[in-house]
Structure 1
Amino acid sequence: MKENEFDFDMKVKLIHGFSNKTRLQILESIKDQEKTVSQIVEEINGNQSNISQHLACLKGCGIIAGRNEGKYCYYSLRNQHIKDLLTMFDVVLEDVQNDVACCERHID
């Protein structure tokens, strides 16, 4: 495998972490403040099992961090770069949203 192919594979894995509506909702939920699973579930109106699976994905990819305190685990964005990336998604989307809305080549 060429070095470039490895880089692309790693980028695809990273971007996959952001490519799900529930995961994006979780990330937006903890963008400015760490939260417990229960707080996230309540805020995005999800189901705990599903949210926990997505949190495990995000944590496994290194996008978020978990901190245990007593019987609770608090989740937060891993670092400022992740927060900046979420903000940049919004900036770029604002610029291209009409094209995205009209795109007929979107593949789920």
Structure 2
Amino acid sequence: MEKPVQQDTAIQTDLYAKFFHGLSNPTRFRIIEILLDGEKNVGQLVEMLGQSQSQVSNQLACLKWCGYVTSRQEGKYVLYRISDERVRTILDLAKSIVADNAEHIRCCTRM
């Protein structure tokens, strides 16, 4: 028995919402911004973010699991980087839209 088209659409919608939810956490968003400038290890990210190693590692695990970042071993360090350059495009577009609507977004009480 085939699934109804409406169910497939709902599944896709949930998947897209989860994708954007991955960027909704301020720490994850900032990690992505930092990694757009190049590879970093956890220690560098900890220093730049001013957060604990466990907090940063937890957010990196989420970003890696969902495909935003990838890692590679170099000596005793694990270096993280953006896994797909299209992430840069998404962030650039988001920043442009936010710039045009910042006050409305800032004041929104419905999200």
**Larger CA deviation: 86-95 vs 47-56:** 86-95
TM-score relative to the length of structure 1? 0.92
Question: Matched residue of 2:78: which SS?
Answer: strand
The answer to whether structure 1 residue 84 and structure 2 residue 89 are counterparts is yes
Q: In the alignment, which of 27, 31, 38 is matched to residue 26 of structure 1?
A: 31
Identity within the alignment, %: 36
Corresponding letter in the other structure for 2:49: I
Is it true that 1:105 corresponds to 2:104 in the alignment? no
Q: Does 1:7 align with 2:42?
A: no
Mapped to 2, the partners of 1:100 and 1:6 lie a distance apart of 27
Letter in 1 for 2:72: R
SS at the partner of 1:66? strand
The structure number with the bigger radius of gyration is: 2
Please state how far the C-alpha of 1:89 moved relative to its aligned partner.
Answer: 1.2
Per-residue CA distance 1:26-46 (angstroms, 9 max, x = gap)? 111111211000001101111
CA separation in 2, counterparts of 1:11 and 1:84? 16
Which residues of structure 1 form unaligned runs of 5+?
A: none
1:71 matched to which residue of 2? 76
Gaps of 5+ in 2: none
Whole-Å Cα distance in 2 between the matches of residues 16 and 105 of structure 1?
A: 16
| Distance in 2 separating the partners of 1:5 and 1:101 | 29
- Give the drift of 1:104: 2.1
State the aligned residue count. Answer: 106
Cα RMSD after superposing both structures: 1.1
Instruction: Return the alpha-carbon distance in structure 1 between the equivalents of residues 72 and 91 of structure 2.
Output: 21
